[in-house]
Amino acid sequence: MKAGVLLSETRVKNMDKEFLRQIDQASELLTQSQDQKLEDEVLICECFCVNVRDIREACVEQGEVNLDLLRKRFSMGEGCQSCMKAAPEWVNKIF
C-alpha cells in the first residue's frame, strides 16, 4: 500500500514537471510571436489596400509608426476603421 502511494506521488511529480515544461514552451512561443515583425505583404488596411511595406516606406524616416501620417497619406481608418482599431496589435510589429 505504501509503495502504491509513493508511485502515485512520483507520477504526480513527473506530471507536474511535464506540465511546467509545456507551460515554459508555450510562454516562449508567445513571446517569440509578439516580437516577430510582420512580412511586407501583410495587408493592414483592407479598405484602402495598405500593406506593411507601404507603412514601412511611409514611416521609415521616423523609424516608428505614425498613425496620423498614415491617415493623411493612405486615408487609413476612413473606411470601416478596423485597421485603426487593431493598431495596438500591429504597430509594434512594423519596425
Cβ of residue 67: shortest distance to ligand FES, in angstroms?
11
What distance in Å separates the CA atoms of residue 44 and residue 41, rounded to the nearest whole number? 9
Cβ of residue 66: shortest distance to ligand FES, in angstroms?
16
CA-closest candidate to residue 48, choices 74, 22, 30, 14: 74
Cβ of residue 75: shortest distance to ligand FES, in angstroms?
8
For the chain, the helix, strand and coil percentages under 3-state DSSP, each to the nearest 5 = 65, 5, 30
**Most distant pair of Cα atoms in the chain: their distance:** 76
What distance in Å separates the CA atoms of residue 84 and residue 62, rounded to the nearest whole number? 19
Enumerate residues 28-87 that contact ligand FES by CB under 6 A.
45-48, 76-83
Cβ of residue 85: shortest distance to ligand FES, in angstroms?
9
By CB under 6 A, name the binding residues for ligand FES. 45-48, 76-83
